[in-house]
A and B are shown apart, each in its own frame.
Chain A
Amino acid sequence: MAAVVTSLKQKQIAQLAEKGKRLDGRGLEDYREFKIEQGLIEKAEGSARVLLGKTEVLVGIKIETGEPFPDTPNEGVMTVNAELVPIASASFEPGPPDEKSIELARIVDRGIRESKAIDTEKLVIEPGKKVFIVFVDVYVLNHDGNLIDASALAAVAALQNTKMSNYEVEDGEMKVKSGYTPLPMKKNPITITFAKIGDKLIVDPCLDEEQVMDARLSMAIDDNGNICAIQKGGTGYFKPEEILTVSKLAKDKAKEMRKKLGW
């Protein structure tokens, strides 16, 4: 009896929200307990696993070399891919990425890219010809709501954990030297997602809450409290006042998290 949220539960969620409470006893602005583990996949250049309540996301970073984009010849490349693998939920089918996994990948990408988290100028091997390509692979292992925040957190934690082999360029050939250098990072963005249920705004929706919410609003906040990416999702709508409320709450929440994480 997994897929459909019963109408009784829907009513309950709405009734509790009116009282400022949630199914699992949280307040409207409380995150679930979360845990971050870094470096668990030794074969990857960087990795991190986030447990947010029962949601579990693993991100692996692989570094390869290639050509830069023609409009940014002096910058390295980052690309984000997300897989909603079938083990994570009965509702995930095997196959190429669908609109949900593509949206997730692009939201995570935007948060990192727009905040300039990675110092891409330091990822150039030969300007205009050869640069490092950072592959961020988001692997959702268990879906219990708010894949966005969990994935964004895991992605940044994995990037922080990433080490690149030292190298030198000899006669136009790249040669690996001993030792490693951490991936050059400038910022650590944090994404905060709010769900709208009735006229209440709740942070970090769990799966049941996501299935009854009207819409969601995610904001990526950088180390200086600036908003660098936003995504509204779902078929409902937000009033302009609600959007401004969320932006203020997201900034506060991100600050709180940053302190907890030591970022």
Chain B
Amino acid sequence: MNQKPEKLIDKKGIRLDGRKADELRPLKLEVGILSNADGSAYIEHGKNKILAAVFGPKEVHPKHMALQDRMVLKCRYHMAPFSVQERKSPAPSRREIELSKVIRESLEPAIFMEYYPRTMADIFIEVLQADGGTRCASITAAALAMADSGIPMRDLVVACAAGKADDTIVLDLMDEEDKLGSADVPIAMMPNLNAVTLLQMDGILNHEEFETAVNLAIEGCKKIYTIQKEALKAKYVNAKGEEAEE
């Protein structure tokens, strides 16, 4: 029974978790942490704790679902019962089903689907703890898992949200800002190709506010992209920092 905070941002412009309007929450990314998956990644973003795994490319089951000219991509976004304040039933909710779809559609443009006809790849996302912005954190982790699996990609996909808390446009909404703020704009993009692959909004923003939010979110994406790349490379840079031999 938490008390609703009176203000999301105080007079000095500091948010409930001590951040300024344009600050990201602390972020940790790890690649290749599950031994059975073909590719995997783990993200801690603020209090979000999410595991992503990729299996594939592999044979399509049932066979009639196979496409003759490209790979089939499936995605499942799922939250653990203990991931939220009030226990969530393990059965997929309508929200999880919608998120599974938009997450898949945010990643598909980055993948060279046409290279592997008559195959499929599964993306599985498990939210172990949720604290606002799970779809963005999931996309960031899933793209890493996809890259880790060795499936060729045009670029990594990275996601971040901006929104409106009280009267300020802020970056990377946490749980309370998500629930009590007046707008939430998650964005996913392929940064090097300058291509936006996910865009949603709920709330209410005027035109200028929307533009500010989009630009802020894109800035956030680019910052996270740097960390994403490092996480992928970290797996291969050994202690001596040596470079490869022919």
Contacts and interface: CB of A to CB of B under 8 A. Distances in A.
Check whether chain A touches chain B (CB < 8 angstroms): yes
A87 B87 contact: no
Contact of A81 (B35, B90, B126, B129): B90
A164 to B, nearest CB: 14
Interface string A11-51: 00000000000000000000000000000111110010000
A40 B49 CA distance: 10
Interface string B38-67: 001000000101011101001000000000
B115 interface: no
Interface hub of A42, A43, A62, A139 (most chain B Cβ within 10 A): A43
A42 B34 contact: no
Interface stretch (B74-82, B149-157, B211-219): B74-82
A60 B91 contact: no
Contact of B122 (A43, A86, A142): A86
Interface of A: 2, 40-44, 47, 54, 56, 58, 60-62, 64, 81, 83, 85-90, 94, 96-97, 135, 137, 139, 141-144, 176
Given A41-B82, A88-B34, A143-B36, 10 more contacts: A44-B83, A54-B35, A60-B83, A60-B128, A87-B51, A87-B52, A87-B53, A135-B81, A142-B34, A144-B36
A87 B37 contact: yes
17 contacts: A40-B49, A42-B129, A44-B83, A54-B35, A62-B86, A83-B80, A86-B53, A86-B122, A86-B124, A87-B36, A87-B52, A87-B53, A89-B36, A137-B81, A137-B82, A142-B34, A176-B1
Contacts of A42: 47, 129
B36 A137 contact: no
Nearest to A58: B128
A139 B128 contact: yes
A41 B128 contact: yes
B81 A62 contact: yes
A54 B40 CA distance: 14
Nearest to B88: A62
B237 interface: no
A47 B82 contact: yes
Given A43-B47, A60-B80, A62-B81, A139 B86 contact: no
A41 B126 contact: no
Nearest to A46: B82
A154 B216 CA distance: 42
B85 interface: yes
B37 to A, nearest CB: 6
A41 B37 CA distance: 23
A41 B80 CA distance: 11
B34 A87 contact: yes
B81 A64 contact: no
Nearest to A88: B36
A85 B122 CA distance: 13
